[in-house]
Amino acid sequence: MSGLFDKKIFDDLRASREKWEQELKKAFDARPERLERFATVSDQEIERIYTPEQVRELDFQRDIGFPGQFPFTRGCQPSMYRGRLWTMRMFAGLGTAKDTNERFHHLVKAGQTGLSTAFDMPTLMGYDSDSPKARGECGKCGVAIDTLVDMEDLFEGLPIDRITTSMTINPPASVIWAMYIAVAENRGIDRRIIGGTIQNDMLKEFIAQKTFMCPPEPSVRVITDTVEFGTREVPRWNTISISGYHIREAGSTAVQELAFTLADGIAYTQAAVDRGLDVDDFAPRFSFFFNSHLDFFEEIAKFRAARRMWAKIMKERFSAKNPRSWWLRFHTQTAGCSLTAQQPYNNVVRTALEALAAVLGGTQSLHTNSLDEVLAIPTEEAATIALRTQQIIAEESGVGNTIDPLGGSFFVEALTNRMEEEAFEIIHKIDDMGGMLAAIERHYPQQEIADAAYHYQRQIDEGKRTVVGVNKYVTEEEIPVEVLEIDEELEKIQIEKTNRIKNERDQVRVRECLEQVGGACSGGGNVMEPVIAAVKAHATLQEVCDVYRRVFGEYRDPGIY
């Protein structure tokens, strides 16, 4: 044990505190405190000052330690940003695959070090562009992918053997991943070489983002297939990005984001262990994805607590031995829900603060939102400012000069402890319900988030919480912002392309391949090889997903409000 404080100092401290409090009282008698209550964005009350008293039991080795060492409070890698900066990974996707490909080339030229793909709603839900359900949505909030040809166009001319690609895709993740593997293999690149991430986190979809296809249990089963396949065949791929981002966007508090995300991680780990995989074989490929909201210190504490909690969970609960299994590596995106349509240029400042919190929290990669995100799909100019924001933090501000600069702050350590404690309480509650699947079935996380979101909105409306430009410092004049328009013709062009491919392919081969996929689904074999074969034969995304829907059933919104 290496406690930080000599017990004797607390007596002196109490005397000083009493003196300070008397003076404080005088000050407040003359002019009362600015607010009735000081609280974080998540409504956690914050004290006037933090001293060793709030972190009395803090033990340097046990609780803080060194980066790269258990419990990793200060970072996973020993070198952190002294070695390599975080990956600046900007999410992009719009219109057709060709349009997005152009944006990718632009971003790589601008100095971006990893690609990140946004798909349109039909793709995210496993529908082709010609489905009646896709009417009006093609290419609207991301790129439309129906067939392998779209995927080939998307990565045309990009060095996918050297660059890593992150793909935000969930219910059809196995199919999109199969297409990416097929693109690589058709170019003669070994699947063992390619690197990247598929989000592939269905639990948070049921909890928060509501992009769902099949019921929770078979969804987790297909995810486990991808984990198993990745471990064996695509060792550089992160098969799940366990995401708190959407949980937070749906209105949760920081602690709920932390707790539900780690509880999801526990569920995936348990499912893979139950499959017979060795935890140390797959856990190092799990990555996380968090939100960085506006409450600066709360966010930093959240990231630090997350690393420490996951290390403990992996070591103690799953008996992982490989230190890499203990690592919680994470991507961060600044909070879309914190941006305002009013006075949109203020969003640049919000995003900068949120990005700074993510960096001080030790993120591995970062997406900074564009100032116009709340209005529409970002323009190129807005996306560039967002990237520049990261570059200024990285190369001008000096915050990366030392590792975990806030470690040891009484406030940050106290907040880190408190978040860990409260999040573990929620995780235990979920354990008592029988795990995350059971909790979701009981609508526990859904209801908690709905309540938190409503509470937050009410506080803004009642003026208890300030949002600059929305409920305070409101200006009448509108600042015009250029907005990117998606061509309405695009839907027609994409549907024609998909129909052409469908007409020209070997129909018998497609049918055989889809039958194999169905067989793997119902028989319990791993779906990945059959899906790769099917997409290579130009089976469409929806055709494969329809097989999933037929075998596993469809999940419908239970409607929690």
* 118 vs 414, beta carbon nearer other proteins: 118
Token duo for residue 380: 């190129």
Query: Which of 198, 259, 486, 535: binder of other proteins (CB under 8 A)?
Result: 486
Please report whether residue 492 would count as binding other proteins according to CB under 8 A. Answer: no
- β 114-117/87-92 pair status: parallel
- β 237-238/240-243 pair status: unpaired
Q: Which residues in 207-226 contact other proteins (CB under 8 A)? A: 209-212, 215
Smallest separation, CB 265 to other proteins (Å): 21
Please report whether residue 52 would count as binding other proteins according to CB under 8 A. Answer: no
* 281 vs 451, beta carbon nearer other proteins: 451
* 524 vs 553, beta carbon nearer other proteins: 553
β partners of residue 215: none
Query: Which of 249, 413, 422, 448: binder of other proteins (CB under 8 A)?
Result: 249
Q: Which residues in 428-467 contact other proteins (CB under 8 A)? A: 434, 441-443, 450, 453-454, 457-458, 460-461, 467
Contact window for other proteins (CB under 8 A) among 85-93, 371-379, 398-406, 518-526? 371-379
Rounded distance between C-alpha atoms, residue 380 and residue 372, angstroms: 11
Q: Could you tell me the CA-to-CA distances from 388 to 16, 75, 107, 211 in Å, in that order?
A: 46, 24, 11, 31
* 392 vs 460, beta carbon nearer other proteins: 460
User: 405 in the Ramachandran plot: left (φ > 0), alpha (ψ -120 to 50) or beta?
Assistant: alpha
Smallest separation, CB 340 to other proteins (Å): 5
Token duo for residue 134: 């896709």
Query: Which of 18, 483, 492, 500: binder of other proteins (CB under 8 A)?
Result: 483
Rounded distance between C-alpha atoms, residue 504 and residue 15, angstroms: 84
Nearest CA among 510, 552, 526 for reference residue 147? 510
On whether the CB atoms of residues 348 and 385 are closer than 8 A, the answer is yes
Please report whether residue 141 would count as binding other proteins according to CB under 8 A. Answer: yes
Smallest separation, CB 142 to other proteins (Å): 9
* 225 vs 249, beta carbon nearer other proteins: 249
**What binding mask, one character per residue, do residues 319-338 give for other proteins by CB under 8 A, x or -?**
------------------x-
DSSP E strand boundaries for 93-226: 114-117, 164-167, 196-198
Q: How many residues bind other proteins (CB under 8 A)?
A: 56
* 204 vs 285, beta carbon nearer other proteins: 204
Smallest separation, CB 502 to other proteins (Å): 21
3-state secondary structure of 220: helix
559 φ/ψ angles, rounded to the nearest 5 degrees: 65, 65
**What binding mask, one character per residue, do residues 65-104 give for other proteins by CB under 8 A, x or -?**
----------------------------------------
Cis peptide before 71 (omega within 30 of 0): yes
* 122 vs 530, beta carbon nearer other proteins: 122
Please report whether residue 419 would count as binding other proteins according to CB under 8 A. Answer: no
Q: Could you tell me the CA-to-CA distances from 518 to 139, 545, 549, 559 in Å, in that order?
A: 29, 10, 10, 30
* 2 vs 457, beta carbon nearer other proteins: 457
Query: Which of 124, 194, 357, 358: binder of other proteins (CB under 8 A)?
Result: 124
Smallest separation, CB 140 to other proteins (Å): 4
Smallest separation, CB 461 to other proteins (Å): 5
3-state helix, strand, coil in the chain (%, to 5): 55, 10, 40
Please report whether residue 108 would count as binding other proteins according to CB under 8 A. Answer: no
Please report whether residue 488 would count as binding other proteins according to CB under 8 A. Answer: yes
DSSP state at residue 85: P
Q: How many other CB atoms are there within 10 angstroms of residue 428's CB atom?
A: 12
User: Which residues are CB-neighbours of 407 under 8 A, at least 6 positions away?
Assistant: 64, 73, 74, 304, 413
Q: Half-sphere exposure of 544 toward its Cβ, with a 13 Å CA cutoff?
A: 36
**What binding mask, one character per residue, do residues 251-270 give for other proteins by CB under 8 A, x or -?**
x-------------------
Please report whether residue 125 would count as binding other proteins according to CB under 8 A. Answer: yes
Please report whether residue 487 would count as binding other proteins according to CB under 8 A. Answer: no
Smallest separation, CB 318 to other proteins (Å): 24
Burial bucket for residue 470 (CB in 10 Å: 0-12, 13-18, 19+): middle
Token duo for residue 41: 């964005």
Smallest separation, CB 349 to other proteins (Å): 16
Q: Could you tell me the CA-to-CA distances from 33 to 27, 36, 58, 296 in Å, in that order?
A: 9, 7, 30, 22
Please report whether residue 479 would count as binding other proteins according to CB under 8 A. Answer: no
> What dihedral do alpha carbons 125, 130, 133, 139 form, nearest 10°?
60
Smallest separation, CB 271 to other proteins (Å): 18
Rounded distance between C-alpha atoms, residue 290 and residue 278, angstroms: 26
* 135 vs 321, beta carbon nearer other proteins: 135
* 415 vs 486, beta carbon nearer other proteins: 486
In three state form, how does the secondary structure of 255-276 look?
A: HHHHHHHHHHHHHHHHHHHHCC
Q: Which residues in 186-205 contact other proteins (CB under 8 A)? A: 205
Query: Which of 77, 340, 384, 499: binder of other proteins (CB under 8 A)?
Result: 340
Contact window for other proteins (CB under 8 A) among 223-231, 261-269, 399-407, 551-559? 551-559
Footprint of other proteins (CB under 8 A): 121-122, 124-125, 127, 132-137, 140-141, 205, 209-212, 215, 249-251, 337, 340-342, 374-377, 434, 441-443, 450, 453-454, 457-458, 460-461, 467, 469-471, 478, 483, 486, 488, 553, 556-561
